[in-house]
Amino acid sequence: MKKKIVLFLAAITLVVAALILIFTQQPETLFDGARISDQGRFALQFDRMNRTDSETLSLAEGDALRVSWQIESGQIDVTIGMEDEEALYRANDRAAGDEADFCVEIPQTGSYTITVIARDAKGRIEFLTTKNESGEGR
């Protein structure tokens, strides 16, 4: 009888411990922030980002893509390019304290995919299209 009580208490203890583990573990947050995608603009502002995000923009030869970011923590990778072609721009392992603000000239008309891979990152990144005013390449 004593053995059954000890086994019963041990089983109850295990069940309670398992429930505590299940309910106290917080799921990994993949994205806590804002995503903006509209005509010629793609922006992410995040308190925590741990995923891949991408956007495809239709750009014309002579257009420019203004890129800016500010990374407060974690790391990001950024790639800009056309499908089945070598990347037009690539930055890997941009980390805390890294800031950028530059333009990427678009060499040919087409659909360009922007990919951001973030690992435990906090910060912001923005891609803004500046249209070719001369009309060349259209």
Sequence ranges of the domains in the chain: 31-130
Q: No. of H helices and E strands in the chain? A: 1, 7
Measured CA to CA, the distance from residue 34 to residue 43 in angstroms comes to 8
Contact criterion met (CB below 8 Å) for 61 and 134: no
Give the pLDDT of residue 132: 83
In CATH terms, is domain 31-130 a member of 2.60.120.380? yes
pLDDT at 25 over 60: no
Measured CA to CA, the distance from residue 37 to residue 109 in angstroms comes to 20
pLDDT grade for 135, boundaries at 50, 70 and 90: low
Give Cα 66 to chain centroid, integer Å: 18
Measured CA to CA, the distance from residue 28 to residue 132 in angstroms comes to 42
Q: What is the pLDDT of residues 51-93, one digit of tens each?
A: 999 999 999 999 999 999 999 999 999 999 999 999 999 999 9
Give the pLDDT of residue 138: 46
Give the pLDDT of residue 98: 95
H/E segment holding residue 133: none
pLDDT at 49 over 60: yes
> pTM of the predicted model, to two decimals?
0.77
Give the pLDDT of residue 136: 54
Find the distance separating the first CA and the last CA of the chain, reported in whole Å. 88
User: Considering the chain, what is the average pLDDT of its residues?
Assistant: 89
pLDDT at 21 over 70: no
Give the pLDDT of residue 39: 85
